[in-house]
């Protein structure tokens, strides 16, 4: 089976790489914090000493890291992927980053005979564990065809969207809507509470109306149970909204949501 490399073993990367390992693929992993590799090594993965070393061991490499800077370091740093004496690899960046950094990395990869895809995902840890993510892909269509059998282990839908960066644009659009829905639900519940309506009653009405959705149901249940543990760090959504702004998002509602999350970030951004 195709040797797989995985870089970035956070809350999402660990269950996703575990699914490929469980499916029988030989998996090599690298993480900037080595302690995060322990569980996968015990499950049978090989631990690489650097991104460059990992690329020599794998035909397909996935990345899932936090931001543009981390992507650039992993590709172009002293021991980065592009320092490896290798060619003809498929590199799939599943990070939520700017379309611009994907276009930069795609050009650098092409110069060394590699194929680059931007393939961010929609979903959280539960969906990563169960292989129910939604994957949005930009880049070479031939690369998408090569990656499709792997995507089937990771998500319920993988959609090819066209040139490099389009997957990133789609993810920024989805996360913008996520910000709208999170703030909208919170404001609706606060309004109801100001008028002595019970949260449980309002959530039953919402969930049985055309406004109901999986996200609204899950977040409503969290509010009802006073469970405010973060499934997705606020600082990351604030970052995604800034990226969307940089790509031209400037509608009145978007400006309000961006402002809200930026104001919340200093106090609440790192909670997980």
Would you please indicate which residues are annotated as catalytic (active-site) residues? 171
Q: Which of 101, 93, 75 is nearest to 136 (CA)?
A: 93
CA atoms within 13 A of residue 267's CA, in its CB half-sphere: 4
Own/partner pairs, 244-251, CB within 8 angstroms, 24+ separation:
244/172, 244/173, 244/175, 244/176, 246/98, 247/98, 247/99, 247/169, 247/172, 249/172, 249/176
**How many degrees, rounded to 5, is the angle at CA 13 between CA 165 and CA 95?**
15
Question: Cβ distance 161 to 99 under 8 Å?
Answer: no
């Amino acid at each position: 089976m195709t040797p797989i490399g995985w870089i970035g073993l956070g809350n999402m990367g660990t269950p996703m790489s575990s699914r490929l390992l469980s499916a029988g693929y030989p998996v090599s992993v690298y993480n900037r914090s080595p302690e995060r590799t322990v569980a996968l090594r015990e499950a049978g993965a090989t631990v690489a000493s650097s991104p460059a070393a990992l690329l020599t061991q794998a035909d397909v490499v996935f990345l899932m890291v936090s931001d543009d800077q981390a992507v650039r370091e992993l590709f172009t740093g002293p021991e980065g992927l592009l320092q490896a004496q290798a060619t003809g690899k498929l590199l799939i960046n599943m990070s939520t980053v700017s379309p611009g950094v994907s276009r930069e990395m795609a050009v650098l990869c092409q110069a060394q005979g590699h194929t680059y895809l931007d393939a961010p995902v929609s979903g959280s840890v539960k969906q990563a564990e169960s292989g129910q993510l939604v994957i949005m892909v930009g880049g070479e269509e031939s690369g998408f065809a090569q990656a499709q059998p792997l995507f089937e282990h990771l998500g319920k839908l993988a959609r090819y969207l066209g040139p490099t960066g389009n997957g990133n644009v789609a993810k920024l659009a989805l996360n913008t809507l996520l910000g709208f829905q999170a703030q909208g639900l919170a404001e609706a519940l606060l309004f109801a509470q100001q008028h002595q309506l019970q949260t449980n009653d309002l959530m039953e009405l919402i969930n049985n109306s055309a406004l109901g959705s999986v996200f609204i149901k899950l977040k409503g249940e969290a509010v009802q149970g006073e469970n405010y543990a973060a499934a997705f760090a606020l600082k990351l959504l604030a970052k995604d909204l800034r990226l969307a702004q940089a790509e031209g998002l400037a509608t009145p509602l978007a400006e309000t949501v961006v402002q809200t999350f930026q104001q919340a970030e200093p106090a609440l951004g790192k909670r997980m």
